[in-house]
């Protein structure tokens, strides 16, 4: 069973504004509303791949109801804690003429200690050795940054595999807890090590040190349009990016996490997991908003994925 956790979900409002200009009136060409938040995006892509997951986290107000209703319509199992306050709305401005994407993200409502205790009861009630848990995205401002690390240890003690996709202290303290898999992008990896990382070989060495130091089984480093690096204890693969028409980059990393989570849950081998991850992330940037890509598109893109070994034992 796959469980995705989203502590700070959002309604993603994507507006297309050709030739967007700051400081003047802009006319919106199209609007799209999606249930969003990194864990929720992961659940949507897992569904596209033919898998099943339960999306969990916290929601509140009319926007929270929108998210639950949207997931129900999509057929995605979900179990959220309803809190006081209003789930945030994140604005995504897509300039189709200049090929730019601008995110304007709200902070989201606060969570009390009682809220977190009740949520823990929900998400850990059925966790066992057959569970894969995804901890991803930001948390409300008043939540301690060791929350993912704490939950990773709890899940691991129950025999579950854990996947971490976060930034800053959430990433640092989460990595120190020893998750099964971690997926930083190159900027997040640089922040973790506190230094600039230049080149595939250096990035591979830094990522491999996470395996050696913290006992992580699988690391994926996304490099944006340049591709990605995938590592386990035995080997490292570099996959260059696939050239496609980019409509929105929002959720590309979540699609990669979804494909890897699905692969771990179903036992897909390392190389094929990497191939599926690159195809899923690429398919995502070809869609608008944070809607998941079609399965057929992902399958076609898999044929275009190539890779080189950076390291092999």
**Active-site residue, from 254, 265, 294, 308:** 254
Cα–chain center distance at 201: 24
pLDDT for the residue 312:
86
Residues 222 and 230: their CA atoms lie apart, in Å, by 9
Contact at 8 Å (CB) between 241 and 162?
no
Beta carbons within 10 angstroms of residue 199's beta carbon: 8
Active site residue 254: yes
Residues of the chain with pLDDT under 70: 289
Q: Is 267 helix (H, G, I), strand (E, B) or coil?
A: coil
pTM (two decimals): 0.94
pLDDT for the residue 290:
73
Q: Give the chain's domains with CATH numbers.
A: 2-19+29-312 (3.40.1190.20)
pLDDT for the residue 101:
85
- pLDDT tens per residue, range 238-251: 999 999 988 877 78
Residues 66 and 73: their CA atoms lie apart, in Å, by 11
- pLDDT tens per residue, range 203-225: 999 999 999 999 999 999 999 88
């Amino acid at each position: 069973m796959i469980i995705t956790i989203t502590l700070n979900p959002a309604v993603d409002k994507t507006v297309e504004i050709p030739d967007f200009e700051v400081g003047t009136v802009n006319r919106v060409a199209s609007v799209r509303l999606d249930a969003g938040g990194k864990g929720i995006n992961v659940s949507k892509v897992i569904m596209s791949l033919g898998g099943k997951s339960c999306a969990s986290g916290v929601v509140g107000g009319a926007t929270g109801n929108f998210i639950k209703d949207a997931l129900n319509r999509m057929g995605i199992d979900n179990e959220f804690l309803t809190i006081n306050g209003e789930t945030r709305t994140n604005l995504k401005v897509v300039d189709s003429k200049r090929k730019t994407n601008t995110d304007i993200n709200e902070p989201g409502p606060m969570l009390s200690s009682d809220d977190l205790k009740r949520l823990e009861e929900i998400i850990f009630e059925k966790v066992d050795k057959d569970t894969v848990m995804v901890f991803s995205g930001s948390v409300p401002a008043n939540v301690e940054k060791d929350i993912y690390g704490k939950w990773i240890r709890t899940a691991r003690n129950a025999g579950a595999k854990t996947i971490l996709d976060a930034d800053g202290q959430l990433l640092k303290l989460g990595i120190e807890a020893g998750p099964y898999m971690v997926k930083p992008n190159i900027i997040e990896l640089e922040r973790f090590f506190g230094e600039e990382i230049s080149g595939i070989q250096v990035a591979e060495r830094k990522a491999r040190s996470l395996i050696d130091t913290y006992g992580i089984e699988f690391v994926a480093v996304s490099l944006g349009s340049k591709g990605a690096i995938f590592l386990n204890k035995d080997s490292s693969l570099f996959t260059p990016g696939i050239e496609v028409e980019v409509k929105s980059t929002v959720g590309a990393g979540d699609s990669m996490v979804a494909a890897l989570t699905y692969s771990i849950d179903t036992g897909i081998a390392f190389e094929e997991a990497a191939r599926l991850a690159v195809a899923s992330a690429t398919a995502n940037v070809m869609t608008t908003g944070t809607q998941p890509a079609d399965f057929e598109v992902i399958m076609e893109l898999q044929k275009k994925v190539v890779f080189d070994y950076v390291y092999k034992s």
